Amino acid sequence: MRKLFGGVLSLVLIGAALLLPTLAYFAHDAYGKLAYLERQRYLLKKDVSRIIPRQRQIRVAKNYVDETSRFTQSAHTVGLTPEAWDMHKVSFKKRIVPFRELGWLSANTRPGANYYFVTQSLEIFTPDAGDWQVRELSDQSVDNLDHVLVTMEGEYWVRDPLFGQPHKRDGQGKVL
């Protein structure tokens, strides 16, 4: 029995000696795969942490585009499109304007239903009676004022009353 037990024990030891490197190989291979998967998991978490803020930015941008699109569509239906407006540049420097027309000039720089003035600069000066040297307008100089010097630059936008009607237009929106 001893012989049998010794033979079985030696077979077990030989089998273990042959099986141990195989198990070590598979364990090492599994550890390599685990390390690879851990690295992939780390990289994916890093990518997700970069993607989440971008998704928020995309949602904000999409909301902005949607709101702009709705506004543009409603503006187009009521005729508030660039084609419906004509733009005229206004530019004059130190022009002598009668004081009584200053109110009319000021009224034309305010927005209306069919016009809008985009002011880039507006300066009003009173000329000195002696030599027409320019000085700033003050309350005392308004009493006996006949003329003022006006410098004004801007864009005057006028709504085309015929826009939206069945008229032929050129490439710039002008009625032919």
Secondary structure class of 132 (helix, strand, coil)? coil
Do the Cβ atoms of 49 and 139 come closer than 8 Å? no
CB 176 within 8 A of CB 135: no
CA angle 79, 83, 85 (to 5 degrees): 75
SS3 120: strand
CA distances in angstroms from 16 to 2, 22, 24, 63, 110, listed in the order given: 20, 10, 12, 67, 98
Q: pLDDT digits over 77-128, tens only? A: 766 777 777 888 989 888 888 878 888 888 877 887 778 888 898 888 776 6
- What pTM did the predictor assign? 0.40
* Angstrom distance (rounded) from CA 105 to CA 49: 59
Whether residue 131 is predicted with pLDDT greater than 60 in this model: the reply is no
DSSP letter for 114, please: S
Contact 87, 159 (CB under 8 A): no
Q: Map tokens 């100089």 to a residue.
A: 141
Q: What per-residue confidence (pLDDT) applies to 24?
A: 86
Using one digit for the tens of pLDDT, what is the confidence trace for 29-54? 899 999 999 999 999 999 988 888 88
Q: Which whole-number Å values give the CA distances from 166 to 114, 162, 174, 175, in the listed order? A: 19, 8, 13, 10
| Burial environment of residue 126 by CB neighbours within 10 A (0 to 12, 13 to 18, 19 or more) | buried
